[in-house]
Structure 1
Amino acid sequence: MTHQLLPITYDNIEAIAAAAFAKSRDCITAIRMDVLHNIQPLERVGFERLIKLIEARQIFKPEILEELDVQMDFLTREIDKGTTVHQHRDYDECNVSAPACWQETQTTERADELGRAMIMFFELYETLQAVHDLMHAQEALGALRQSL
C-alpha cells in the first residue's frame, strides 16, 4: 500500500508526522514478511534495530534516518543480485517491427519481496525527511527572527 505524501507545509506537519507513524508500522510488516526470511542471520541486526526503534515510537530520532539509509543501500544491492536483464534481438530480415531489439528484466522471488520492502522503507524515509526539513526550517526561521 502506498501513501501519498501531503504537501510539505507547516499546516501539515502534524499530519505528516502522524503518517510517518503509520508508515513505520508498514515497515515493520515489510521487514517481518519480506526481509528477514530472505537474508542471513548476521544481516538481520540492522533490521531488528529498526524494529526496536519503531516499536519504541522513536522514529524521529536522527539515527533512524541513518539506519534506514544503510538498510536501503543493503536492499538495493540484494535486489540487484536477483535481477537479470536479457537482451533480445530479432535478426530476421522480414521483421518490420521496430525496434528490432529489446530488453526483458527478470527478478527472483527474493528480489521481488525485497523490492516490496524497499518501497515501504523509501516512503518512511521520505516522510521522516519532510518532518525533519520542516522542523529545521522552523528552527532556522526562529533564529533569524531573534537576530533581527
Structure 2
Amino acid sequence: MRSDTPPDDDELGPVDFIVVEFPHGHIGAPGFEQLLSLADQGTIRILDVEFVAKDAAGASRRVEASELGNPDGIDLSLWAGASCGLLDQADVALIDAAIEPGAIAAVIVYENRWILGLADAWRREGARLIADGGVPADDLVAALDASERS
C-alpha cells in the first residue's frame, strides 16, 4: 500500500550541516538558488543559515544575512529568517580556524526530508530506524582509494 500523504511536520529526518567558505567574501548566487530550490521541492528543510566573516586581521564574527546585501544579485536578507542561532562560540572558533582572512563562511543546517516517506513505509512494515549518520567525503574517498590499491 502506497501513501502519498506528505510527511508530518512533527517527524524529523536526518539532520546534516555544511560549512561553505567564500574566499574574499564573494558569495555567488547559484549555490543559494539551488539550496532554495531543494527546500521548495521538499527535498530538504532549512533549519539554520548563519554567516561567519573573518576580517583581514584574522578576527571572526557572526554576520547577519542582511549585512551582506545583494552579492552576485542574490538578496541574502531572504535568509535572515532562517537563522535560529544554533552556532555557539566554540563553533565560531572552529570555523575561524578553517577559513582564510577576508572570507565569509555560510553554515547551513538542514533536514533530509526525502527519506521520511521511505522511513514511514518501513515503519508500517514493523521495521524501525536504529541509527543514522554521515560519512565525511574525505574518509569515503580514502577508503575507496585504499580498496582499489589492495
TM-score normalised per structure 2: 0.26
Whichever of the two has the greater Rg, that structure is 1
Name the structure where helix makes up a greater proportion of residues.
1
Task: Decide which structure has greater strand share.
Answer: 2
